[in-house]
C-alpha cells in the first residue's frame, strides 16, 4: 500500500505535525509506504514528488510551514486545458498511489471532493486554515496559533497606543470569516472589532473611538481584511486573482485609520499583521489537533474510505463528507454579534 500526501492553499502552522503523524502511524502500524507531492495539486499535476519516510519527518513537529511546499494550484484552471484530472490520475498510477491524503482548506479540499465523488480517485481530507472557516469541524489547526499571535500583537499595541493617546488599527487575516478578529479582539480587549460578516458603519466606529478617548483611554480597533464599510465594497490590495478566483485583500486597516483621523481629528496608525499570523511554530493546541487529525486520516485510509474529511466535534475526531465540509464556509454566527454586540461596527 502506498499513500500520497499533499498540502495545498495558504500554509498554516501544524501542517508538518499532520504529515509526521500520518507517516509515523502509517509506517509503524500499517507498514505503508509514502510519497509526498510537492506544492499542493501542482505535485500530482506535474509529477513532482518528495520522499516521505520516518527519518524525513523526524523533528518536524514544532516547525511551521510544510516540508511538502504549498500552492494555490487548481487542476480545473484553464491552464490545464481540461487535462487536470487525467494528469493527476496518470501521476497516481506512475507512483503507484492507492490513496491520497489532501491537507487543505476549502479550495484544496473542494478539488479532493470532486476527484473522489465524480472521478473515483480515493482521497481523504484533513482540514487546515488559520481562518477557521471550514464547515463540518469545530476548529481547524493553525487558527489557535494565529489567534495567539494576533492577541499578543494587540496586547503590545495597547501600551504604545496609551503612551501616545493614538488610535491603533490592527488588520488581521480573514477573507470571508471574522474568526481571527473576533477571538483575538475579545482576548486582547480591543474596543472595536470589525468582521466581514457584518458591514460596519464608519460613523459608529468613530463614535466608539471618541468615547474611548473621553474615558481617557486610547482605542484599539481590530479589523479583518475582508471587513467592509456599509457603503462601498471590500478593499482590495490589487486587481489580481488566484487560480480559484479569490481576490487579494489588505488595505482596509489603512483606509480606516485615515477615515478615523479625518472624522475625529485623532491621530491613528495601522498595523497589518499579514503573514506573521501564518508563520512560525504551531501552538500546543494546534500540534495536538494536527497530530490527532493525522492519526485519524491514516486510519480512514486503512479502512478504505474515500471522500471523507477528519473533523473535530467537541473532543472527538469524526469523519464528514468532504463535499459537505466544502459546500459553504463557516462564518461567524450572528448570535455572537448579539453576545458581544457593543464591539461590532
Ligand atoms: O489561507 C487563508 C489566508 O490566510 C487568508 O486569510 C488570506 O486572505 C490569504 O490566505 C492570503 O493568501 P496569500 O498568502 O496567498 O496572499
Grid cell, residue 144, equals: 489557535
Q: From 287, 314, 218, 10, select the one nearest 133 (Cα to Cα).
A: 10
Joined together, the cell numbers standing for residue 112 give: 479532493
Residue 260 near residue 268 (C-beta atoms within 8 A): yes
Dist. CA 303 → ligand 1 center (Å): 34
Closest CA to 75 of 121, 33, 35, 34: 121
pLDDT at position 345 is 45
Q: What is the DSSP letter of 128?
A: B
Residue 131 marked in a binding site: yes
- Quick one: cell of 82? 481540461
Domain 2-141+282-326 is of which CATH architecture? Answer: 3-Layer(aba) Sandwich (3.40)
131 close to ligand 1 (CB < 6 Angstrom) = yes
Domains 2-141+282-326 and 144-278 are alike in CATH topology: yes
Out of 131, 238, 275, mutate this one to test ligand 1's pocket (max ligand atoms within 8 Å of CB): namely 131
Q: Is 64 in the pocket of ligand 1 (CB under 6 A)?
A: no
Ligand 1, atom 11: closest residue by C-alpha:
10
Give the residue from 6, 58, 9 showing the smallest Cα distance to 37.
6
Ligand 1 and 134: CB distance under 6 A = no
Q: What pLDDT, on the 0 to 100 scale, is given for residue 1?
A: 97
Q: Which of the residues in the chain have pLDDT under 50?
A: 345
Residue 10 in contact with ligand 1 by CB distance below 6 A: yes
Instruction: Categorise residue 235: left if φ over 0, alpha if ψ from -120 to 50, beta otherwise.
Output: beta
Question: What nine digits make up the cell of 232?
Answer: 462601498
Cell of 37: 507531492
Superfamily of domain 144-278: Phosphofructokinase domain (3.40.50.460)
Q: Which of 11, 103, 175 to mutate to test the pocket of ligand 1 (most atoms within 8 A of CB)?
A: 175
CA of 83 to the centre of ligand 1 (A): 27
Cα(210)–Cα(191) distance, rounded to whole angstroms?
A: 11
With a 6 A CB cut-off, is 175 part of the ligand 1 pocket? yes
For ligand 1, atom 1: residue with the closest CA: 10
Give yes or no for a contact between 290 and 311, defined as CB atoms under 8 angstroms apart.
Answer: no
Task: Compute the distance from residue 329 Cα to the ligand 1 centre, in Å.
Answer: 15
Q: Is the CB of 9 under 6 A from ligand 1?
A: yes
**Does the Cβ of 40 fall within 6 Å of ligand 1?**
no
Residue-wise pLDDT tens digits, 258-280: 999 999 999 999 999 999 999 99
Q: What are the boundaries of each domain within the chain?
A: 2-141+282-326, 144-278
Residues 124-166: pLDDT tens digits?
Answer: 999 999 999 999 999 999 999 999 999 999 999 999 999 999 9
| DSSP string over 273-333 | -GGGGTSSPPPHHHHHHHHHHHHHHHHHHHTT--SEEEEEETTEEEEEEHHHHHHSB-PPP
Closest-CA residue, ligand 1 atom 9, reads: 10
**Is 319 labelled a binding residue?**
no
User: Which triple of cell numbers denotes residue 311?
Assistant: 473533523
Q: Kindly list the catalytic residues.
A: 131
Amino acid at each position: 500500500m502506498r499513500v500520497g500526501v499533499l498540502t495545498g492553499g495558504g500554509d498554516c502552522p501544524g501542517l508538518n505535525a499532520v504529515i509526521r503523524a500520518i507517516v509515523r502511524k502509517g509506517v509503524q502500524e500499517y507498514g505503508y509506504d509514502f510519497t509526498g507531492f510537492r506544492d499542493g495539486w501542482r505535485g500530482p499535476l506535474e509529477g513532482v514528488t518528495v520522499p516521505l519516510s520516518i527519518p524525513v519527518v523526524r523533528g518536524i513537529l514544532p516547525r511551521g510551514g510544510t516540508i511538502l511546499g504549498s500552492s494555490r494550484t487548481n487542476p480545473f484552471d484553464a491552464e490545464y486545458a481540461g487535462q487536470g484530472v487525467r494528469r493527476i490520475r496518470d501521476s497516481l498510477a506512475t507512483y503507484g498511489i492507492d490513496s491520497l491524503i489532501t491537507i487543505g482548506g476549502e479550495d484544496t479540499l473542494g478539488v479532493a471532493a470532486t476527484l473522489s465523488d465524480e472521478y473515483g480517485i480515493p482521497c481523504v481530507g484533513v482540514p487546515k486554515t488559520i481562518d477557521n472557516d471550514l464547515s463540518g469541524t469545530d476548529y481547524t489547526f493553525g487558527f489557535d496559533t494565529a489567534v495567539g499571535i494576533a492577541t499578543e500583537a494587540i496586547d503590545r499595541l495597547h501600551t504604545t497606543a496609551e503612551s501616545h493617546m493614538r488610535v491603533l488599527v490592527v488588520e488581521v487575516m480573514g477573507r470571508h470569516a471574522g474568526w481571527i478578529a473576533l477571538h483575538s479582539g475579545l482576548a486582547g480587549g480591543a474596543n472595536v472589532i470589525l468582521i466581514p460578516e457584518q458591514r460596519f458603519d464608519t460613523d459608529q466606529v468613530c463614535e466608539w473611538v471618541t468615547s474611548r478617548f473621553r474615558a481617557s483611554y486610547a482605542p484599539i480597533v481590530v479589523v479583518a481584511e475582508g471587513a467592509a464599510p456599509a457603503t462601498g465594497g471590500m478593499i482590495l490590495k490589487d486587481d489580481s486573482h488566484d487560480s480559484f478566483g479569490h481576490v487579494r485583500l489588505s488595505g482596509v486597516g489603512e483606509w480606516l485609520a485615515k477615515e478615523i483621523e479625518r472624522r475625529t481629528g485623532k491621530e491613528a496608525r495601522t498595523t497589518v499583521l499579514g503573514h506573521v499570523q501564518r508563520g512560525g511554530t504551531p501552538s500546543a493546541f494546534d500540534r495536538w489537533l494536527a497530530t490527532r487529525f493525522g492519526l485519524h486520516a491514516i486510519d480512514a485510509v486503512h479502512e478504505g474510505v474515500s471522500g471523507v474529511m477528519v473533523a473535530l466535534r467537541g473532543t472527538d475526531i469524526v469523519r464528514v463528507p468532504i463535499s459537505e465540509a466544502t459546500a459553504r464556509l463557516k462564518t461567524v454566527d450572528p448570535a455572537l454579534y448579539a453576545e458581544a454586540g457593543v464591539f461590532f461596527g
